[in-house]
Amino acid sequence: MRKVTIKDVANETGLSIATVSYAMSGKKILPPETVKLVTNAIEKLGYVKNISASSLVSNKSNLIGVVIPQTEPGSVMVFENPFYSEILSSIEYNARLQGYHVIVSGTNADEKYFTLAKQRNMDGVIVIGAYPEDFYEGLNLSNIPIVLVDSYLENHEYKEVKLDDIYGGYIATKYLIEHGHNKIAFMSGKIKDGGVSEKRYQGYKKALKENAIPVNPKYVFNGNVDFEEARILAKRIVEETDCTAIFCMADIMAVGAIKELNKMKIKVPQQISVMGYDNLNIANYCTPGLTTIGQDIFKKGKMAVDLLCKAIDNKEVEQEECVLPVEVVERESVAKL
């Protein structure tokens, strides 16, 4: 079946193509009867606007790219970690409200990605997570508005949305200490300078030092931020340490740790307490309910979209960096000694 074009709509109405275009775009005030005539013809013919053609004319595609980090080649992390599902839901919803469609990439954000962004004529890109320094240097060459989420750059060249993750790691560890724990394992992703794991680890160490508790490197366990890796690390913590609590830098790791502890017949929290970070929906569903550090993931996605849309429209913003608050969310996975 042949695709209906704007020329077909013009022929149906007896109007010029220009008039039909004005009626559809609303860029020019036309008599109500003219607009209704065009609307009726569109419905009758089943006309659908050609977005690609429109973008060539306006130089705007109404497409936003979102880049999700991977822990290793071939990873399907975007599907395994509920954090990314939740923030992507927020980004897609809020972008749609502002007239944008979202293209998600689960690959590493490198030069090839930004070549793709230019080829697809993306209006802007949201980059989630931390990447090597040379990647950020390449951003300047893209000439595409960019907003970073949880990247923790030391410079302020880019608009960014993030958490006070040092404070989050601090209050999580402090909460465990206040509940009588002084042998606390730290379970995280690979600790890289400036990354999320490193920030939360800083907070962990700060709380220990404030309470005169030595920082024991043997209590620090790193791997990939996923469910199965957490199960492996939890087993090691039980076999290699005498810890009474585990602070996991992500809820997905905390749930994996609880799963493995249950398998090992170790009661949570009676024998080992578990603390998470993120307050994902899964924190409510696991047994026991997960005590965690809460962040507003929906708001984080919304702020990223709002900042990017303002950058696309060349509008001034009040601040280049948005730091969202965190708090302890109590459930049942931490016991008082």
Q: How many domains does the chain contain in total?
A: 3
Same domain, 276 and 301: no
| Same-domain status, 172 and 286 | yes
**CB of 256 within 8 A of CB of 229?**
yes
| 16-25, 89-98, 137-146, 252-261, range with the lowest pLDDT | 137-146
Asked whether residue 1 is domain-assigned, the answer is: no
Q: Tell me whether residue 58 is in a domain.
A: no
The verdict on residue 54 lying in a domain is no
Does some domain include residue 328? no
Residue 177, pLDDT score = 98
In a domain, 214, yes or no: yes
Domain that holds residue 265: 165-295
In this structure, are 156 and 202 located in the same domain?
no
pLDDT at residue 36 is higher than 90: no
Q: Which helix (H) or strand (E) holds 66?
A: strand 63-67
Asked if 145 and 68 sit in the same domain, the reply is: yes
- For residue 321, report the phi and psi dihedrals to the nearest 5 degrees: -130, 125
**Same domain flag for 115 and 208:** no
Query: For 294-330, what is each residue's pLDDT tens digit?
Result: 999 999 999 999 999 998 888 665 556 789 999 999 9
What pLDDT is recorded for position 74?
Answer: 45
Return the CATH number at 124. 3.40.50.2300
Q: Do 124 and 137 fall into the same domain?
A: yes
pLDDT at 156 over 80: no
Residues 280, 302 within the same domain: no
Q: Are residues 334 and 176 in contact, defined by beta-carbon separation less than 8 angstroms?
A: yes
pLDDT of 19 reads: 86
Q: What is the pLDDT of residues 195-248, one digit of tens each?
A: 889 999 999 999 999 999 999 999 999 998 889 999 999 999 999 999 999 999
Strand partners, 247: 186, 275
pLDDT at 167 over 70: yes
Q: What is the 8-class DSSP label of residue 98?
A: T
In a shared domain, residues 135 and 281? no
Q: Which long-range contacts (CB under 8 A, 24 or more apart) does 321-325 make?
A: 321/156, 321/159, 321/160, 321/161, 321/162, 322/160, 322/161, 322/162, 323/162, 323/163, 323/164, 324/161, 324/162, 324/163, 324/164, 324/295, 324/296, 324/299, 324/300, 325/163, 325/164, 325/295
Distances (CA, A) of 33 to 10, 43, 74, 224, 308: 15, 15, 56, 62, 38
Average pLDDT over residues 40-56: 67
